[in-house]
Chains A and B, each alone.
Chain A
Amino acid sequence: MNRYVVVMASAMLLLLLGTTGFKSSNSLPRQTITADTSKWPSTFSFGKVATEQQIDSVAIAILPNGTGLPPGLGTPKEGNVIYITKCASCHGANGKAAAGEKLPAPELASDSISKIKTIGNYWPYATTIFDYVRRAMPYNAPGSLTNNEVYSITAYLLSANNIIKPDMVINAHNLYKINMPARKLFIPDDRRGGPEVR
């Protein structure tokens, strides 16, 4: 009986060795990254349930369908005034570098034939302008703008790129509907690995 167990065990060991021995480097054991969760409790009960208030204080992201846009409004005219005082020093007088000027920050406006990637010829969604400026700009004082200021600057940047008329009022109901010229150019990644270079 004992002997039988030993034989069985060594046979199994051989089988095991045999299979691993034949494995190409292709199928060497992967890094164990998933644990056996079958013995896990349905919840570990670490952490706390988030309150509405906790969520609202940080959930500032805006979807391209306009979800998340706050109340408020702005115009290119008001935006221009704010732009000159809070943005022009880094991004250029009209969102463009003057001839020979080297800006510390990207240009923000261009005509469609320009090679420089800007809002006018490269940004696929207008909502991204609001979202990004509100979270990250001005670079030296991020998060300092009011929602109305951000609406106005967004309106100004859209107008400076000839996407909206200079008298258009921008708010939560129309920003996401603005058609961005570059939108049609965007395609999802089509690289898939394998022998083909893409």
Chain B
Amino acid sequence: MDEPIEKPGEEPVKNKISRRFLLGGAATTAIVLLQSSLTKWVQTAGAQTLIKNGDPTKITGAGPSTVGKRSLFEKPVRLTSDTSSRTPLQDLYGTITPSDLHYERHHAGVPVIDPDKYELLIHGMVGKPMVFKLSDLKRFPSVTRTCFLECSGNFRTSKETMTPQEICGLTSQSEWTGVMLSTLFREVGVEPKATWFLAEGSDAALLTRSIPVKKGWDDAMIVYAQNGEAIRPEQGYPARLLLPGWEGNTNVKWIRRVELSDQPFMTREETSKYTYPVKDKIRQFSFEMDARSIITYPAYPNQLERGWVEIRGIAWSGRGKIIKVEVSTDAGKSWNATNLQEPVLDKAHTYFRHLWQWRGDETEILSRAIDETNYIQPTLRQLIEARGISASGYHMNPITAWQIKRDGKVLFKPESFK
């Protein structure tokens, strides 16, 4: 049974088929048949045999396929709840989140929208109200930019056995392509008295947010592509609003309507939700995501071995570039500058690395991000001091600490919150 299904060692015939041969009239049919039976043959001799046999050099591999798949040894998955799913930050390298692992948060599920029927209406305080089909949006001068998205409720703390994904997996990064909203504003002739615009999604929640027009002229986009392909349904297919650096909820997905106005609409999402108590007041229209970082390696559930460890993680700020990430390997007593992976982009996940020798002592490792406004990622205590004990889970970006135990176990350090 350990024998491969077919005898390996033969020259793979398909590589020898020349173009001229393929084009050679009657022979073509035979070749096509040969190819498809080859593919079948390779498929039967597929993964299972390979694993059993353990020697990939002794069995011909699978042929080309129409859509690629992950290695069967890699199984990164989102962690789902009823209303969201979290990116497995600890399983990723670099700063682009594979599109199928991008975090999700929606208020009435993921709608199915026919791209041929899709329309974006821009009206209100404009010279000329207009409707754009998806094909119209794609004809405008386009722009590509890489930036992070983060849900403003991206903060969890409870037990020691929490992964980066569980603590702060509601952030992801993509390369987005679309049209600048300013290009469309120019087209419809936004009136100078317009100071806000309403963005409305075409999901079952008809989700709405009011956005200052200034952001629209500055760097807002209507994007239809993510990481080189059409945007994923969970991310707003066929088009969404992208507000670089601003809380996830304002980046309205499945956008169908933009209404220019001289005041905010005070929608449910910007009053009852996405607002939070600060001392004896309620803070509203908190758009920018403040600087934050997290060490993604080593982290729970890694097991450390003595010797050299490259501490790795991501840092980001909704206010611009990360200028520095510092790591402490002595529970916050001293801080070391880390290496930032270039290019460091504006409002984007930035990868940091710090080489460290672990000698087997019990300690805590922490990271803190500093952005171009000189904002330093605070501790949970600092946030509570600034906002009062009723501080809620919105816009919480505290330093995350990992405990290193003598036996090499890495555990999250939950801090009491409230």
Q: Does A190 contact B (CB under 8 A)?
A: yes
Question: In A59-118, which residues have CB < 8 Å from any B CB?
Answer: 59-65, 117
Q: Give every chain B residue within 8 A of A198 (Cβ-Cβ).
A: 278, 386-387
User: Of B186, B265, B287, which is within 8 A of A61 by CB?
Assistant: B265
Q: Does B187 contact A (CB under 8 A)?
A: yes
Q: Are B140 and A33 in contact (CB under 8 A)?
A: no
Q: Does A6 contact B (CB under 8 A)?
A: no
Q: Are A25 and B323 in contact (CB under 8 A)?
A: yes
Q: Are B267 and A128 in contact (CB under 8 A)?
A: yes
Please, which residue of chain A has its CB at the minimum distance from the CB of B348?
A31
Q: Does B150 contact A (CB under 8 A)?
A: no
User: Of B141, B265, B340, B375, which is within 8 A of A63 by CB?
Assistant: B265
Question: In B50-100, which residues have CB < 8 Å from any A CB?
Answer: none
Query: Count the A-B residue pairs with Cβ separation under 8 angstroms: how many?
Result: 175
Helix, strand, loop or mixed for chain B's interface? mixed
Q: Are A64 and B140 in contact (CB under 8 A)?
A: no
> Which of A7-15, A119-127, A153-161, A162-170 contacts the other chain?
A119-127
Q: A46-B136, A47-B131 are in contact. Are A142 and B204 (CB under 8 A)?
A: yes
Bound together, the chains give a CA A194 to CA B323 distance in angstroms of: 13
Question: In B277-300, which residues have CB < 8 Å from any A CB?
Answer: 278, 280-288, 290
What's the interface size class on A, roughly?
35 or more
Q: Does A186 contact B (CB under 8 A)?
A: yes
Q: A26-B321, A47-B131, A136-B206 are in contact. Are A59 and B257 (CB under 8 A)?
A: yes
Q: Are B288 and A193 in contact (CB under 8 A)?
A: yes
Q: How many residues of B contact A (CB 8 A)?
A: 74
Q: Give every chain B residue within 8 A of A32 (Cβ-Cβ).
A: 143
Q: Are A28 and B386 in contact (CB under 8 A)?
A: no
Bound together, the chains give a CA A177 to CA B146 distance in angstroms of: 45
Closest beta carbon of chain B to A68's beta carbon, Å: 9
Q: Give every chain B residue within 8 A of A43 (Cβ-Cβ).
A: 187
Q: Give every chain A residue within 8 A of B326 (Cβ-Cβ).
A: none
Q: Give every chain A residue within 8 A of B283 (Cβ-Cβ).
A: 187-190
Chain B, 117-141, contact with A by CB distance < 8 Å: what is the 0/1 string?
A: 0000111000011111100110111
Q: Are A193 and B371 in contact (CB under 8 A)?
A: yes
User: Of B267, B284, B382, B383, which is within 8 A of A189 by CB?
Assistant: B284
Please, which residue of chain A has its CB at the minimum distance from the CB of B135?
A46
Q: Does B336 contact A (CB under 8 A)?
A: no
User: Of B129, B186, B282, B284, which is within 8 A of A50 by CB?
Assistant: B129
Bound together, the chains give a CA A99 to CA B134 distance in angstroms of: 50
Bound together, the chains give a CA A61 to CA B198 distance in angstroms of: 9
Q: Are B180 and A182 in contact (CB under 8 A)?
A: no
Q: A61-B265, A135-B205, A142-B206 are in contact. Are A30 and B346 (CB under 8 A)?
A: yes
Q: Give every chain B residue within 8 A of A26 (Cβ-Cβ).
A: 321, 323, 372
Q: Does B32 contact A (CB under 8 A)?
A: no
Q: Does A185 contact B (CB under 8 A)?
A: yes
Closest beta carbon of chain B to A115's beta carbon, Å: 9
Bound together, the chains give a CA A40 to CA B122 distance in angstroms of: 20
Bound together, the chains give a CA A28 to CA B378 distance in angstroms of: 25
Q: Are B204 and A136 in contact (CB under 8 A)?
A: yes
Q: Are B280 and A185 in contact (CB under 8 A)?
A: yes
Closest beta carbon of chain A to B216's beta carbon, Å: 13
Please, which residue of chain A has its CB at the minimum distance from the CB of B372?
A26
Q: Are A182 and B268 in contact (CB under 8 A)?
A: no
Bound together, the chains give a CA A172 to CA B374 distance in angstroms of: 49
User: Of A46, A49, A61, which is within 8 A of B140 by CB?
Assistant: A46
Closest beta carbon of chain B to A141's beta carbon, Å: 9
Q: Are A195 and B375 in contact (CB under 8 A)?
A: yes
User: Of A31, A58, A123, A139, which is within 8 A of B272 by CB?
Assistant: A123
Closest beta carbon of chain B to A22's beta carbon, Å: 16
Q: A61-B267, A117-B272, A125-B271 are in contact. Are A50 and B205 (CB under 8 A)?
A: no
Q: Are A47 and B284 in contact (CB under 8 A)?
A: no
Bound together, the chains give a CA A52 to CA B116 distance in angstroms of: 22
Instruction: Provide a sorted-by-A list of 5 A–B residue pairs whose CB atoms are within 8 angstroms.
Output: A31-B345, A31-B346, A35-B143, A59-B259, A193-B373
Interface residues of B (CB under 8 A from A): 107-108, 121-123, 128-133, 136-137, 139-141, 143, 145-146, 180, 182, 186-187, 198, 200, 204-206, 208, 219, 256-257, 259, 261, 263, 265-268, 271-272, 275, 278, 280-288, 290, 319, 321, 323, 340, 343-346, 371-376, 378, 382-383, 385-387, 395
Known: A61-B200, A131-B208, A194-B374. 15 other contacts (CB 8 A): A30-B346, A31-B345, A46-B137, A47-B132, A47-B187, A48-B131, A50-B121, A63-B266, A128-B267, A128-B271, A136-B268, A143-B206, A186-B271, A191-B395, A193-B374
